[in-house]
Amino acid sequence: MTSVQKVNSRVDLETTDDHLSVSGLPERLKAAREAARYSRAQVAQQTGIPQKSIEKFEGGDQEPSVSRLITLADFYGTSTQQLLGTVEQIDELPQPSKQTSESSELTSAIDQARALLDELDEHRENTFIDATRRGVAAATELRSALKSIEPDGLIALARERDVYTPTMPTLPQLKNLFVTQFEAAQGSCSKLEDRIIDTAILGVDLHSIGLASLDTLADQLEIDERPWGGWKKHDALVPLLRQRLHILAFSGKGEDFANTEKYPYRDNAEQSE
């Protein structure tokens, strides 16, 4: 009998190749994570266990090894016995340990933003099924995290999400702008934040889509502010589309921006705006 089996003699436990097979373990793993108020992306970021593995553990598609079970129990501030079922109520899980809380507080805003972006990417791929309110909450948390990131980190994230273009201010220019024109600098950062968030909720940077396609979409969504002669710049149209498109995405009715025939990328002339 393994050491874990000795501790856990009241549950149906088997070990094969150092992996655990326990009735109800997937459900308890998910409940423990949610009780500790972590997303799968955040757990992966801080434990080193791949997010896909965590998803498979909770879905019952893969059995965790003993070492990974111990890692998850420590991270959630609980015990292997509780995860394995020797505690009757998962609601009795203690709050995350002081060490875990301190580690979470020390996580930088940019790492938090990356974790939230990963979470939103995952929800979007599933069209926000059963995650509408969590998606909205994650987007709100993401915006708050982005607001506290300095320009160098914000530009780094923008590059990672493929929204940074040569027409945008460079880091030295943005830093100088904060000295000379503070409100303009904040405005530039806010535009970057919006575009980063769009990639997570919509799967695309709206500024990368051809203006004619967005103009047609605005008509379909009955955007009333259409100027005479049509829209000439993304900066005027995109803010009017953004909120409506986010709501549709969270409702599971998001546009398929991966359809490049319907939504072709903007041409070089538009890029030079």
Pair (76, 171) in one structural domain: no
| 115 and 9, same domain (yes or no) | no
Same domain, 170 and 68: no
- What's residue 227's pLDDT? 75
- My answer on whether 75 and 175 are in the same domain is no
Q: Where are any strands of DSSP class E within the chain?
A: 13-16, 19-22
Whole-structure pTM value: 0.61
Same domain, 242 and 225: yes
pLDDT one-digit tens code per residue, 198-210: 999 999 999 999 9
Q: Which residues of 12-30 are buried (b: 16+ CB within 10 A; e: fewer)?
A: ebebeeeebebeebbebbb
pLDDT at residue 268, as a whole number: 55
The last residue of a domain, from among 106, 136, 166: 106
Q: Which of residues 106, 123, 150 is at a domain's end?
A: 106
Domain count of the fold of the chain: 2
Q: Residue 169 and residue 115: Cα distance in Å, rounded?
A: 26
Residue 196 has a pLDDT of 97
Same domain membership, residue 155 and residue 72: no
Same domain membership, residue 124 and residue 33: no
Segments forming the whole domain that contains residue 193: 109-271
Q: Which two tokens stand for residue 172?
A: 């030295």
Question: What is the structure's pLDDT at 22?
Answer: 66
Q: Which pLDDT value is given to residue 101?
A: 47
Within this chain, do residues 178 and 83 fall inside the same structural domain, yes or no? no
Shared domain check, 169 and 154: yes
CB of 122 closer than 8 Å to CB of 41: yes
Q: Which residues of the chain have pLDDT under 50?
A: 1-18, 88-94, 98-107, 269, 272
